[in-house]
Amino acid sequence: MKKTLVAFAVLGAFAGSAFAADVTLYGRIDGGLQYNQNKVEYNGQEVIDDSSFEMGSGQSTGSRFGWKGTEEISEGLKVGFVWEHGFNVDDGSFNDEDRLFDREATLQLISDDYGTLALGRTGSIKSDAGTFGFYAAAVNPFGNGWSNIPGISVAMFADQDTRYDNTITYQSPTFTGTTIYAQYSMGGNDENEMTHRAERYAALGVNYVAGNVNLAAVVDWTDEAYTKDFLLIYGKERDDQYTINIGGSYDCGHAKTYLAAQYFKNANDVANMVGLMDETSIALAELAGLTIPPEEDIVSWGTLFDKFKGYGVSIGTDIPAFGGNFLVSLAYADAEEENWDADVKAYSGAVAYTYPLSKRTNLYVAGVYNNREIKGSLRGYEIEQDQYQAFFGMVHKF
């Protein structure tokens, strides 16, 4: 009820100020149907075999609504803002019940000569999310990935957090096709902000566009937050995480080809292996007849993994055909986790076709396959997962 009242208050405020600044209400709605199959084997024994047919929301792009606006305060200088929130079409719920604007909430100073400076919650420049996320869309036709299966396109790689709180972002003007990006997140929204108990993030990126060529690169660093559990287990704090990301695309007219590569060190996760380990651990406990504690009391493998080191590569294409576009992507990741002597390999493939019904509405159909393997020499286990998904739907933008 409180969120509803706040939303109406926001709408009322804009109704009275719409003539004082350039304000736009915008959004997109993505809904459809999907079939999912998930199979997991532990040491050769099948422990999970699930399938479902259900209504899906945000299958190709996240459903959202938002407001954005600018006010010119002098020649070549504007103040702007973006407020954006995600929701689910299937049941009307918010993506994040604890925030009114979970996708982006930024205040921006926009200069024609010096670039844009933004403060607030926003998308990582390594993603394709929000005002400043440029890299993922530049290097893969699926960007950060379609569907709710983790590990499609560059989402196969390490550290795919798409949004950060308390973030300072700078985007330069474009000179001879080159745009520079810099970003720093001060961490969480409590007394730990800007301390070693908060996870702080920094990134530097460049995007170059000349004719049919687009080249992009991002280097980022995560100052890992202090956690008591990790200190008790290993007798030290987490190691800082680094990733180096390069890629681009070339449009020959008949097709647009994409390439991407990433090197990562001290990553906490890659290709959502943490989720696979958690899912398998719960399945094994259920098969053994053990009582499963509440979700909030379950200790995730994310508290243990800290030193994934390896690389990821992807290749994709966007082919215009029959009035629409075929999208294809293949990705591979290879890593080892030093603390637990674990080897990881992951493969994914995705194909989709989109067809525009109008400038603001399009239909889509897609299929996804994802395979993930993790072998732990220290504990002598082997986990393999096969995931399949087929879905179709419609997107309307306003």
3-state secondary structure 271-285: CCHHHHHHHHHHHHH
Q: How many beta carbons lie within 10 A of that of residue 53, not counting itself?
A: 9
Pairwise CA distance, residues 314 & 178, whole Å: 23
Cα separation values, 110 from 75, 76, 324, Å: 11, 8, 35
76: left (phi over 0), alpha (psi -120 to 50) or beta: left
CA-CA-CA-CA torsion sign (155, 386, 283, 340): negative
**Each residue of 77-112: pLDDT tens digit?**
999 999 999 999 999 999 888 888 999 999 999 999
Pairwise CA distance, residues 346 & 333, whole Å: 5
Give, for all 398 residues of the chain, the pLDDT tens digit.
Answer: 444 444 444 444 444 444 457 899 999 999 999 999 999 999 999 999 999 999 999 999 999 999 999 999 999 999 999 999 999 999 999 988 888 899 999 999 999 999 999 999 999 999 999 999 999 999 999 998 887 776 788 888 998 788 999 999 999 999 999 999 999 999 877 777 877 778 899 999 999 999 999 999 999 999 987 777 777 778 788 889 999 999 999 999 999 999 999 999 999 999 999 999 999 999 999 999 988 888 777 878 888 888 999 999 999 999 999 999 999 999 999 999 988 899 999 999 999 999 999 999 999 999 999 999 999 876 789 999 999 999 999 999 99
CB 172, CB 115: distance < 8 Å: yes
Kindly list the domain boundaries of the chain, sorted by start residue. Answer: 23-397
Paired sense of beta strands 115-123 and 104-111, if any: antiparallel
Q: So what's the architecture of 23-397 in CATH?
A: Beta Barrel (2.40)
- Indicate the pTM of the whole model: 0.90
Pairwise CA distance, residues 226 & 147, whole Å: 33
**DSSP letter for each residue of 173-235:** PPBTTEEEEEEEE---SSTTTTSTTS-EEEEEEEEEEETTEEEEEEEEEEEPPP-HHHHHHHS
